[in-house]
């Protein structure tokens, strides 16, 4: 360990059950920029971890927030004209008090621009450095729109999406993606995914379209072409869609490419049709070239999804590089008033571990556990992936946590290997019809539950829903292990060339120390790869940072973390040394130990 920085934060009574720190730091020059769980921005010395300054946005937190996290911040340098040449075409330099700024998203619906050198708010950005993201929202209640991922920046524009409260109501904020002037904070453009004209900016007294698909995961930006790649979710409520219009679903559960300077559509590709399972696009798209058999480098965008697909598309036009076909889905009736898409897109690169579960895959740590899991399995509605939600209770596999999550994947372009950490964890969703204890509309003063799990009201549609992981009485998954892997895919052949279990059950039951059996556990957080043929990843429930061989997946090194490492690591160089840094902050709903440590490891010198 080279250094450890402790933020001094801990969970408070005003915090959500989903309190976590999913931070990936950024390093620019002699500064490292991080955000804490409560979105305090801190500048550190990357060689020592010593704090230089901090800025506190005074987050207005509440237990009803569905999330409390900060995945990262964004940096802008007005002098960086070479990288952003495309977006700067036809523009003139603008005088600004903050030529170098850090953009800080805050969960209560604000975006701050902070002087990257001093930590002071940029006075000429929005209102003294503070931008209100609830502007033009139809239902601007606290916690309804939460920017949990960092924005992306072009030479002229800062672009941001946000998370909306899942499964609470039909009266939710819009999921519109917005572009603001990078220096003044003035609104430049809108892409409202649920509007007939997605670029129309509402006039006086008008608002954005409520419940339109949001973009909660990190975005990706190609500075050479000035195109931003946006992974979208679905219209909320998620688990009943009878009220959705074709316009509302046009850009749902999709990857949408748009011009970074104007917000105009370039192309879109839908990954799940009429999504009733929360199978959205949860991860930042990865931009890297794919080499063809003739040696041509094709600019690609890699799109991992919860459903297990890894779509590899030509980022110029959205056409598949790895073949995609429409797969017929299992027969099954949708809930009254809803419908089911007869087919779903399936990539030839699909990382789902088992296509269809059977009672043979039901598992338990004891014979009693296994018996209970098998009995429940037979009681559930299940005909394979995409079985529609039901009042009986439907087995959802892959589950709501997905095969892929917000950590995304890493592509080693030199070796043409895609590195990833797919999961295999079933969930159960059960529709709850309206009745005396399940009203169509909320009582006055009702708020969100502060979690995505358990009973969710879905006010305004005919059903509430109960969503939970499919667990045994002991609290372990009912599906036999493994529940988490690391894998390498050869991008020349599109084959999975290795797949290894990752993680032990050591910390899987809160408060109970289990033996360190390597069975492969769920994880939140993604991998990174280095030029030295290494893949680093944390994220597992057993609180380790690990290094694997990119070529064969062999475990080469591991280090115990003081708390859950539900974050993606980052590597950087400082004073001639290479470091790996990981946030060990824990995760409330994932059940890992909470903490406040940012830990840097120095790699051996050559």
Q: Is it the case that residue 511 has pLDDT exceeding 80? A: no
- List, in sequence order, every residue forming a beta bridge with 159; answer none if it has no partner: 152, 179
Q: Is 602 left (phi over 0), alpha (psi -120 to 50) or beta?
A: beta
Please report the sign of the dihedral spanned by the C-alpha atoms of residue 344, residue 346, residue 351, residue 356.
positive
H or E element: which one contains 537? strand 534-537
Q: How many CA atoms lie within 13 A of 249 on its CB side?
A: 16
Is the Cβ–Cβ distance between 497 and 489 less than 8 Å?
A: yes
Is the Cβ–Cβ distance between 344 and 327 less than 8 Å?
A: yes
Q: Report pLDDT digits (tens) over 419-448.
A: 999 999 999 999 999 988 888 888 766 666
Radius of gyration of the chain (CA): 23
What strands lie across the sheet with 544-549, from one edge to the other?
528-529, 534-537, 544-549, 555-560
CB burial of residue 377 (10 Å; 0-12, 13-18, 19+): buried
pLDDT confidence band for 62 (50 / 70 / 90)? confident
Which pLDDT score, from 0 to 100, does residue 606 have?
59
Q: Report pLDDT digits (tens) over 47-57.
A: 999 999 999 99
pLDDT confidence band for 530 (50 / 70 / 90)? very high
How many angstroms separate the CA atoms of 512 and 43, rounded?
37
pTM score:
0.96
The structural domains of the chain, with segments of one domain joined by +, span: 3-602
Tokens of 601: 């490891």
Architecture of the domain defined by 3-602: 8 Propeller (2.140)
How many angstroms separate the CA atoms of 578 and 563, rounded?
23
Tokens of 263: 């917000």
Q: Report pLDDT digits (tens) over 220-259.
A: 999 999 999 999 999 999 999 999 999 999 999 999 999 9
For 227, list phi and psi in degrees, rounded to 5.
-120, 130
Q: What angle do CA 327, 328, 329 make, to 5 degrees?
A: 110
Q: Is it the case that residue 590 has pLDDT exceeding 90? A: no
Name the CA dihedral angle for 152, 158, 163, 164, rounded to a multiple of 10 degrees: -160
Which pLDDT score, from 0 to 100, does residue 308 have?
96
Q: How many C-beta neighbours within 10 Å does residue 603 have?
A: 17
Listed range (181-190, 307-316, 396-405, 451-460) with the worst mean pLDDT: 451-460
Q: Is it the case that residue 449 has pLDDT exceeding 80? A: no
Q: How many C-beta neighbours within 10 Å does residue 422 have?
A: 25
Which pLDDT score, from 0 to 100, does residue 282 have?
96
Q: Give the three-class secondary structure for 417.
A: strand
Which pLDDT score, from 0 to 100, does residue 195 have?
97
Which pLDDT score, from 0 to 100, does residue 337 have?
94
H or E element: which one contains 247? helix 246-249
Is the Cβ–Cβ distance between 277 and 382 less than 8 Å?
A: no
Give the mean pLDDT of 86-106.
Answer: 93
pLDDT confidence band for 588 (50 / 70 / 90)? confident
Q: Report pLDDT digits (tens) over 126-152.
A: 999 999 999 999 998 888 999 999 999
Q: Is it the case that residue 262 has pLDDT exceeding 90? A: yes
Q: Is it the case that residue 454 has pLDDT exceeding 90? A: no
Q: Report pLDDT digits (tens) over 557-571.
A: 999 999 999 999 999
Is the Cβ–Cβ distance between 146 and 227 less than 8 Å?
A: no
Q: Report pLDDT digits (tens) over 535-550.
A: 999 999 999 999 999 9
Say which residue the tokens 């895609």 belong to.
418
Of 212, 95, 78, 215, nearest in space to 157 by CA:
78
Q: Is it the case that residue 510 has pLDDT exceeding 80? A: no
Of 18, 14, 40, nearest in space to 594 by CA:
18
Give the mean pLDDT of 20-30.
Answer: 96
Q: Report pLDDT digits (tens) over 327-349.
A: 999 878 899 999 999 999 999 99
Q: Is it the case that residue 14 has pLDDT exceeding 90? A: no
Is the Cβ–Cβ distance between 302 and 286 less than 8 Å?
A: yes
Catalytic residues: 278
Mean pLDDT for the chain? 93
Is the Cβ–Cβ distance between 243 and 259 less than 8 Å?
A: no
CB burial of residue 376 (10 Å; 0-12, 13-18, 19+): middle
Tokens of 535: 């893949």
DSSP string covering 296-342: -EEEEEEEE-TTSBEEEEETTT--BSS-EEEEEPPP-PPPTT----S
H or E element: which one contains 37? none
Q: How many C-beta neighbours within 10 Å does residue 6 have?
A: 12
Q: Is it the case that residue 89 has pLDDT exceeding 70? A: yes
For 375, list phi and psi in degrees, rounded to 5.
-65, -45
Q: How many CA atoms lie within 13 A of 52 on its CB side?
A: 19
Q: Report pLDDT digits (tens) over 161-206.
A: 999 989 999 999 999 999 999 999 999 999 999 999 999 999 988 9
Is the Cβ–Cβ distance between 143 and 434 less than 8 Å?
A: no
Is the Cβ–Cβ distance between 301 and 266 less than 8 Å?
A: no
């Amino acid at each position: 360990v080279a250094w450890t920085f402790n933020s001094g934060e801990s969970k408070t009574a005003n915090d959500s059950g989903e309190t976590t720190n999913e931070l990936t730091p950024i390093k620019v020059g002699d500064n490292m920029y991080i955000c804490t769980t409560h979105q305090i921005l801190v500048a550190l010395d990357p060689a020592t971890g010593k704090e230089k300054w901090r800025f506190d946005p005074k987050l207005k937190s509440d237990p009803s927030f569905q999330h409390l996290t900060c995945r990262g911040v964004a940096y802008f340098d007005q002098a960086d004209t070479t990288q952003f040449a495309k977006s700067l075409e036809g523009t003139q330099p603008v005088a600004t008090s903050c030529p170098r700024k850090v953009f800080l998203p805050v969960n209560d619906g604000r975006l701050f621009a902070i002087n990257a050198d001093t930590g002071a708010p940029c006075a000429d950005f929005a209102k003294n450095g503070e931008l209100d993201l609830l502007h033009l929202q139809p239902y601007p209640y606290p916690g309804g729109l939460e920017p949990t991922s960092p924005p992306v920046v072009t030479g002229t524009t800062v672009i941001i999406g946000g998370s909306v409260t899942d499964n609470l109501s039909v009266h939710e904020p819009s999921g519109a993606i917005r572009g603001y002037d990078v220096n003044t904070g003035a609104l430049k453009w809108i892409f409202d995914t649920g509007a007939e004209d997605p670029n129309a900016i509402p006039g006086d007294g008008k608002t954005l379209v409520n419940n339109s698909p949001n973009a909660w995961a990190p975005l990706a930006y190609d500075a050479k072409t000035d195109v931003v790649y946006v992974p979208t979710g679905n219209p909320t409520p998620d688990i009943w869609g009878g009220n959705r219009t074709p316009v509302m679903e046009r850009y749902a559960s999709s990857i949408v490419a748009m011009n970074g300077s104007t917000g105009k559509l370039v192309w879109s590709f839908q990954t799940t049709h009429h999504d009733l399972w929360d199978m959205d696009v949860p991860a930042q798209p990865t931009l890297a070239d794919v080499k063809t058999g003739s040696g041509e480098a094709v600019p690609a965008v890699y799109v991992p999804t919860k459903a297990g697909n890894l779509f590899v598309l030509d980022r110029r036009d959205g056409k598949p590089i790895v073949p995609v076909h429409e797969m017929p889905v299992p027969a099954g009736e949708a809930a009254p008033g809803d419908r089911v898409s007869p087919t779903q897109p399936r990539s030839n690169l699909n990382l789902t571990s088992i296509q269809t579960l059977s009672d043979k895959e039901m598992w338990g740590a004891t014979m009693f556990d296994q018996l209970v899991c098998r009995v429940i399995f037979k009681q559930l509605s299940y005909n394979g992936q995409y079985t529609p939600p039901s009042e009986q209770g439907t087995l959802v596999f892959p589950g709501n946590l997905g095969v892929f999550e917000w950590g995304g994947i890493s592509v080693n372009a030199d070796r043409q290997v895609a590195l990833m950490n797919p999961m295999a964890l079933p969930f159960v969703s059960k529709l709850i019809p309206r009745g005396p204890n399940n009203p169509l509309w909320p009582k006055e003063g009702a708020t969100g539950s502060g979690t995505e799990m358990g009973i969710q009201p879905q006010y305004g549609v005919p059903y509430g829903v109960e969503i939970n992981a499919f667990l045994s009485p002991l609290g372990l998954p009912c599906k036999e292990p493994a529940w988490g892997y690391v894998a390498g895919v050869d991008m020349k052949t599109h084959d999975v060339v290795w797949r290894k279990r990752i993680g032990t059950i050591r910390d899987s039951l809160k408060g109970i120390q289990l033996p360190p059996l390597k069975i492969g556990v769920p994880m939140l957080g993604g991998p990174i790869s280095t030029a030295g043929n290494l893949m680093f990843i944390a994220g597992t429930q057993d609180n380790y940072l690990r290094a694997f061989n990119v070529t064969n997946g062999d475990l080469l090194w591991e280090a115990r973390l003081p708390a859950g490492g539900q974050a993606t690591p980052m590597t950087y160089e400082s004073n001639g040394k290479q470091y790996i840094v990981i946030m060990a902050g824990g995760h409330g709903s994932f059940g890992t130990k909470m903490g406040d440590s940012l830990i840097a490891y120095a790699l051996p010198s050559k």
